[in-house]
Structure formats: structure tokens, C-alpha cells
Amino acid sequence: MRSTTNLLIINLAVSDILFVIFCVPFTATDYVLPEWPFGNVWCKFVQYMIVVTCHCRWVSGVGFRLSGVWVSVYIYIF
């Protein structure tokens, strides 16, 4: 079960879970309250997690597409 597709799916799932846990509640709180109540360190951490999970989703998407193209080319050639 250690195929490339399975690893990309696990990567995408972990990224989505981290986004939901660390980004969504605090971003919603930021929209509701007039100022950030969690401190400067947590603000930087939440922004960091938003960027990391976004890049992780992007890399997983590129990996899916490249693995699909590779399989298509491999089947066409052989």
C-alpha cells in the first residue's frame, strides 16, 4: 500500500486536517473580533500554517497530475 498515489492522498489528508485544526477557527475568530486575542506568537504560527498547508495541497496536486501523466505515457509507450 506504499504507492505514490496513497502517499499523496495521505499528504493531502494531513494537510486538510491541519488546516481545519489550526487555521479555520482562528481565522473565523479574527473576522468576528475587532482585534487578535491570542498573542503575537500564535498569530505568526497560524499564518505560517496557512502558508504551509496551502503549499502542501499545491504540491500534492502537482504530484497527482504528474503521476497520472506518467502512467498515461507509460501505458501509451508500452
For 40-46, the CB contacts below 8 A with 24+ separation are 46/22
Q: How far is CA 21 from each of CA 44, 48, 49, 52, rounded to the nearest angstrom?
A: 15, 13, 10, 13
Amino acid letter for position 64: F
How many domains is the chain built from?
1
Residue pLDDT, tens place only, 27-74:
999 999 999 999 999 999 999 999 999 999 999 888 888 887 776 777
Cβ burial 50-68 (10 Å sphere, 16+ → b, else e): beebeebeeebeebeeeee
Q: How confident is the model at residue 78 (pLDDT cuts 50, 70, 90)?
A: low
Q: What domain range is 21 assigned to?
A: 4-77
